[in-house]
Copies of this chain bind each other. A is one copy, B any other.
Amino acid sequence: MDQKIGAQSLRFAEAPFIVSSASIVGTKEGQGPLSDEFDMIGADDKFGQDTWEESESALQKEAVTLALGKADMKPEDIRYIFAGDLLGQNIASSFGLMDFDIPIFGLYGACSTCGESLSLAAMCVAAGYADHVVAVTSSHFASAEKQFRFPLEYANQRPLSATWTVTGSGAFVLAGHQEREHLSVTPCVAITGITTGKIVDYGIKDSMNMGAAMAPAAADLIEQNLKDFDRKPEDYDRIITGDLGTVGKEILIRLLKERGFDISNQHEDCGIQIFDDSVQNTGAGGSGCGCSAATLSAHYLKRMERGELKRILFCPTGALLSTVSFNEGQPVPGISHGVVMEYVERKVN
């Protein structure tokens, strides 16, 4: 019954389920390769709001509403929300979610927050602390540029290593194992384990090359997950990072090869999946804690629900910087939080 395994992982004796999930994205993402898979694509990137921050709040609100609808649940059925975003003081989450009137745990793990929120949400329902909880994260290109780089009006040039913050949100309704037979939707994706990340600092100081800053954290996390669960890369159908982009992907695969793990056949990156640089001019790929969340919901969970993927390791990565730490000459440390998801027969036993 002891669920702790290895140095950084938990294996859930009775695995919680993802009951439903939903994705919402902006116009650029809606024109990308995953266009047909998102639940909702904005007519513009303002989502009916006056400011970029309110637009991002609207993304979270819509994603949660959609996910609740698919689960046939109301806000009062949800005991906790685990939520975060990239903005200072998590304002996208606070203002987006307050009308649901649900107890909330605010989280910050930069672009790894989707993994952090799913981890804590799974821990919570697996322990029986709640029947149903929600995990939700978001990012918005315009609010993130304003927060971290330059206002859009400045029209700065971007190096090729730069990623493009995804305008989007993904929300997930989780339920404990014991709830499965009572749900009106029969879930088929279980969260069977998690691996929680440490902060990894390789001394990278280039805020326009986040992939390089985050790849070492992903490498450590994936290696630790494989060791803790005593698995090989091929035990996963996919090992999915959040937003390393093309530059970070190359570094990740090389780092792990040096340590004896070849993940080149299993690895995919949400940031590479969501955009086609040749069409959309998005540089190294998409980023942001909406990127991994929306792509997980729209693309990977759907593939799991169809039984095409049986077991995945989802490990979004975050770059733990602010403009203040960056301008004060601090490096950009990374973190990654891993979530193991497995396909389970839809029929209730």
Contact of B84 with A328 in the complex, beta carbons under 8 Å: no
Query: A194 to chain B: closest CB distance in Å?
Result: 9
| A108→B86 CA distance, assembly (Å) | 11
CB distance from A339 to the nearest CB of B (A): 13
Residue A268 interfacial (CB < 8 Å): no
Q: Is the CB of A129 within 8 A of B3?
A: yes
Q: Contact at B10–A129, with CB atoms within 8 Å?
A: yes
Specify which chain B residues have a CB less than 8 angstroms from the CB of A323 in the assembled complex: 88
State in angstroms the CA–CA spacing of A203 and B51 once bound together: 18
A91 engages B324 (CB within 8 Å):
yes
A124 at the interface (CB under 8 A from B): yes
Asked if residues B88 and A322 are in contact (CB atoms below 8 Å), the reply is: yes
Query: Which residues of B lie under 8 Å from residue A89 when comparing CB positions?
Result: 86, 88, 108, 110, 320-322, 325
Stretch at the interface among A36-44, A58-66, A99-107, A242-250: A99-107
Q: Tell me, yes or no, whether A342 is within 8 Å of chain B by CB.
A: no
With the chains together, A2 CA to B51 CA distance in Å?
A: 44
Question: Given known contacts A3-B129, A4-B129, A91-B325, is B335 in contact with A198 (CB within 8 Å)?
Answer: no
A218–B97 Cα distance when bound, in Å, is 19
A160 part of interface (Cβ distance < 8 Å)? no
CA distance A1 to B126 in the complex (A): 14
Could you give, for residues 120-139 of chain A, a 1 whenever the CB lies within 8 Å of some chain B CB and a 0 otherwise?
10011011111000000000
Q: How far is the CB of A91 from chain B (nearest CB, A)?
A: 5
A108: contacting residue among B8, B107, B128, B196, CB under 8 A: B107
Q: Does A80 contact B (CB under 8 A)?
A: yes
Question: A51 CA to B324 CA in the complex, in Å?
Answer: 10
Is the beta-carbon distance between A91 and B51 smaller than 8 angstroms?
Answer: no
Residues of B with C-beta under 8 A to A80: 196
Bound-state CA distance A54–B322 (Å) is 13
Contact pick for A105, options B2, B51, B116, B127, CB 8 Å: B116
Chain B positions within 8 Å of A116 at CB level: 105-106
Q: A84–B89 Cα gap in the complex (Å)?
A: 11
Q: A26 within 8 Å of B by Cβ?
A: no
Q: Which residues in chain A, 8-24, are within 8 Å of chain B measured between CB atoms?
A: 8, 10
A87 within 8 A of B: yes
A232 to chain B, nearest CB (A): 23
**A267–chain B nearest beta-carbon distance, Å:** 22
* Interface core residue of A116, A200, A328 (most chain B CB under 10 Å): A328
- CB pair A53–B104 under 8 Å, yes or no, is no
Residues of B within 8 A of A271 (CB): none
For A335, give its contact among B104, B120, B124, B197 (CB under 8 Å). B104
A95 with B330, Cβ < 8 A, contacts A4-B129, A105-B116, A123-B124 known: yes
A residues 298-331 with Cβ under 8 Å of B? 320-325, 328, 330
Q: List 25 A-B contacts (CB under 8 A).
A: A1-B128, A2-B128, A3-B129, A4-B130, A8-B103, A53-B324, A53-B325, A53-B328, A87-B88, A88-B147, A88-B323, A89-B108, A89-B320, A89-B325, A91-B330, A94-B199, A97-B199, A98-B333, A103-B198, A104-B197, A105-B116, A105-B119, A107-B108, A123-B124, A146-B324
Interface residues of A (CB under 8 A from B): 1-4, 8, 10, 51, 53-54, 79-80, 84, 86-91, 94-95, 97-98, 101-110, 116, 119-120, 123-124, 126-130, 146-147, 196-201, 320-325, 328, 330, 333, 335
